[in-house]
Structure 1
Amino acid sequence: MDIGVAIGDVRGPASLTDLLDQARQAHDAGIGTVWAAQAMGWDALVALTAVGARVPGPRLGTSVVPVPQRHPLVLASQALSVQAATGNRLTLGIGAGISTFTRQLFGLTFDRPARRLREYLDVLNALLRGESVDHRGETLTAAGTVGVPDAEPPDVLLAALGPAMLKVAGELTSGTITWMTGARTLAEHIVPTITGVNQKARVVAGLLTCVTDDETAVRQRISEQFAIAGQVPEYRAMLDREGVAAPGDVVVAGDEAEVVKQLDRLRDAGVTDFLAVPYGSPAEQVRTLTVLAG
């Protein structure tokens, strides 16, 4: 199981200096991949370009870029630009976006997300390979090509939780990225569903992670701070599958031995890549990086 670390907004407001420091700390600890989320702060692809230009070595990943706001011609150009600027180190994680946010913040339609992503990926994959597209489909129109010298097509992953989206991920991408999804749900639902379509599928599991002497308090704080994740239908469904009440119940937390045990459980569930989001005090985050690197 490859272990990577999130940098940037998902860990709190971050300056460019913060991004670079977090990436360097992870790389110096021996962690091979840094991931950036897309929220309402840093653009994930810009953040990774800035980091990749100044921190040689680590692989780079988006986790994830919502695509309703980005036409595939735009996203293909952005992704290939990152590849050219960073020496082809990008894994492009994309997703349909959170339904509530997509409707309320952007006023965009969110019906038939699996159907939309299937069509989107047909176009995006062709563009990333340098092919010309002339697509006039049910949910998308795209005509043109994208060319960036020295850029290779990045590995593409699709955020997927439900069976229909996991099928799309298995058929049209290299795998999936999950968030706030526990080990039992990964083992019994996510992994068997996607590997039933693609036996070689990557399963990237993203979870808040904290090595701490007060596990109970950390889980309580996370449940309060990330309470909205327990209300969003997509994540609520995964928490219900897991049989837990709140986001704090699925995070990786505890002392060194307990965190290693929880990481082993994720590996045994079939997770190929663990995306850790270090949480807690500066001292707890240093302890967390040490365990993750080990």
Structure 2
Amino acid sequence: MHIPTVSQTHPDSKSRALRERLGLLTYQTPPAEALATIVAAEAASVHQVWRTQGTPLWNSLTVLAAAATHTTTICLGTAIMPTYAHHPVALAQQALALASFAPNRLRLGIGPGNRQPIESSYGLTPSRPLAHLREYLTILRAALWTGHVEHHGSFYHTQATLPESAQVPILISALREKAFALAGELADGAIAWVCPPKYLLHTALPTMRASAERAGRPTPPLIAQVFVVLDSDPQSVRSAFRAQFDHGRFYGNQPEYAAMFTAAGFPVSPDGSWSDDLIDTLVISGNEATIASRLAELLSFGLDELLIMPLQSSDPTNLPRLTHLIGRL
């Protein structure tokens, strides 16, 4: 099946304003809170917001659909919708509905998700996740972009005609080299979660570029997630991170993440906890000027976009201040 691409949907990174390359993440917050955050972000001139999909928490596309009816310009993205929990045709149906509320504002991030919650919540055992993601992407692209899909593969047998089509960019989550290669070959971008910048620049990005070149297409954007907090005390920042993420043990105890951290030069402890160095490389902190400088620096190194996850803070002004900072850069 021929898969069209949207490689030219987003202009070359160098031609885009800094603000357009930054996205604010709403992380598993209740729908009403997320809606208020998104409305406030648009009012502050933030260019794009993203929503995670925790398992089995609120459906992110439904939350973004509500946000689409309360906003007019802000771009909306999922980071990510887990593939094993959603049939690709059903996800295309949801995406079409949202796209009708917010034309040209949706980017659909998909990925296998974390094995543990998928198994415990849905009773599913992810098998060959990269092959599954390739097939899923093929079906979803056809359904969304052409309005028709007929596919008989290893994981899905489906034939469906949808009421309309929409060229919604489809990005995939990526952690190790093979996933970044798949993004370079077929997807409209890669979303990297808790990956150290040096790993992305020295391993992920070259892999994507080589794969895209073999496929005869431009390299799609690499979007890197970073934690950000307005706090100039390194020890306070580390403590805040460890309090929010239980020392990072969830990710550190996932074999695929632990392997990535080791490859990046930041092996985790036997109990899965993160070192100070790993936290320091993933968290951007300081005052507004320091944070703005660091965000611009990361993008200047070669990353296309940054997905900003505000770290929880005892300061209630942290999120509003970060929102306004992103909107004015």
Alignment identity in percent?
Answer: 30
* Residues 8-40 of structure 1: per-residue CA shift (max 9 Å, x gap): 51xxx4241x22321122222221001111013
Q: Are the equivalent residues in 2 in contact too, given 1:186–1:270 (CA < 8 A)?
A: no
On the 8 A contact 1:130/1:147 being kept in 2, the answer is no
Structure 1: segments with no counterpart, 5+ residues: none
Match of 2:34 in 1: 19
Q: Deviations over 1:42-76 (max 9, x none)?
A: 21100110001002210110010001111111011
Q: Which stretch shifts more, 253-262 or 211-220?
A: 253-262
Contact kept, 8 Å, 2:31 with 2:63, in 1: the verdict is no
Go from structure 1 to structure 2 and tell me whether the alpha carbon gap of 1:241 and 1:254 turns closer, same or farther (over 3 Å shift).
farther
Write out per-residue CA displacement over residues 254-282 of structure 1, whole angstroms, 9 at most, x where no aligned residue. 23343234313421332211111122232
Q: Which amino acid aligns with 1:156?
A: I
Q: Secondary structure at the match of 1:287?
A: helix
Partner of 1:262: 294
- Corresponding residue for residue 224 of structure 2: 205
Cα separation, 2, equivalents of 1:237 and 1:29:
39
In the alignment, does 2:316 pair up with 1:282? Answer: yes
Normalised to the residue count of structure 1, the TM-score between the two structures is: 0.90
Query: For residues 230-251 of structure 1, what are the alpha-carbon distances to aligned partners after superposition, in whole Å with 9 as ceiling and x for unaligned?
Result: 2222332333233334263312
CA shift for structure 1 position 131:
4.1
- The correspondence for 2:45, drawn from 30, 39, 45, is 30
Q: Are residue 223 (structure 1) and residue 237 (structure 2) matched?
A: no
Task: Tell me the alpha carbon deviations over residues 57-97 of structure 1, each in whole angstroms, 9 at most, x when there is no partner.
Answer: 10110010001111111011111111012233100000011
Q: Which residue of 1 aligns with 2:150?
A: 134
Does the C-alpha gap of structure 1 residues 223 and 233 become closer, same or farther in structure 2, counting only changes over 3 Å? farther
How far, CA to CA, are the matches of 1:5 and 1:106 in structure 2?
Answer: 29
1:271 matches 2:271 = no
1:119 aligns with 2:135: yes
Q: CA RMSD in A?
A: 1.9
SS at the partner of 2:127? coil
CA distance in 2, matches of 1:46, 1:134: 27
Native 8 Å contact 1:127 1:145 kept in 2 = yes
Secondary structure of 1:197's aligned partner: helix
2:96 corresponds to which of 80, 92, 95: 80
251, 256, 275: which one pairs with 1:234? 256
1:168-187 residue CA offsets vs partner (Å, 9 max, x unmatched): 21122111001111111111
Q: In the TM superposition, what is the alpha-carbon distance from 1:194 to its structure 2 partner?
A: 1.0
Task: Compute the TM-score of the two structures, normalised by the length of structure 2.
Answer: 0.81
Query: Which residue of 2 is the match for residue 152 of structure 1?
Result: 166
